[in-house]
Amino acid sequence: MNILVLTSEPVSADQLRDALGEGAFAGRTEVMIVAPAYQDNPLKFWLSDADDAIARADQVSSETLANLDDAGIPATADTGDSDPLDAIQDALRTFPANRIVMFTHPGDDARYREDVDPAEVARRFGLSVERAAVSG
């Protein structure tokens, strides 16, 4: 199974297992981590002040990759576009995912453009989509 993980904070193997449910890693499983370069607010997004967002996304993808590697879960990682739908589309060009897991901040803690409807993602890409809350 190929799992595409979209995350805005570093994720542990336990968090991923909890989001996917029991047996998710039975058999051959590969994970691709995509950390979108989310902005903290719309003003930074519209002013194209992306340097901090890209640096943060690089950190998130690197930490998550290390966490999964430590747990023996094969994974790759990349920084994604600030639009989560574009980030997913870009990742799917090179990684044939069977499922998508979106780790997002709940409610008012969400970063700008982070709160994407999982049903919209499922409809657009034809894949099973789970959402899990992340703190940070």
Banded model confidence at residue 53, pLDDT cuts 50, 70, 90: confident
Q: Would the pLDDT of 79 be above 60?
A: yes
Cα gap 25→16, rounded to integer Å: 10
Instruction: Domains for the chain: give ranges and CATH numbers.
Output: 2-133 (3.40.50.620)
Residue type, 45: F
Q: Would the pLDDT of 94 be above 80?
A: yes
Banded model confidence at residue 47, pLDDT cuts 50, 70, 90: low
Cα gap 72→29, rounded to integer Å: 11
Q: H/E element holding 34?
A: strand 30-36
Residues 36 and 81 sit within 8 Å (Cβ to Cβ): yes
Q: Work out the mean pLDDT of the chain and round it to a whole number.
A: 85
Kindly give the residue spans of alpha helices, DSSP state H, lying in the chain: 13-20, 42-46, 51-70, 84-92, 118-125
Kindly report, residue by residue over 103-129, the tens digit of the pLDDT: 986 665 555 555 788 899 999 999 999
The predicted model gives 60-76 an average pLDDT of: 94
For residue 27, the model assigns a pLDDT of 72
In sequence order, the 6+-apart residues with CB closer than 8 A to the CB of 61 are 33, 34, 35, 77, 78, 79
Taking the model in full, what pTM does it have? 0.86
Q: Would the pLDDT of 43 be above 90?
A: no
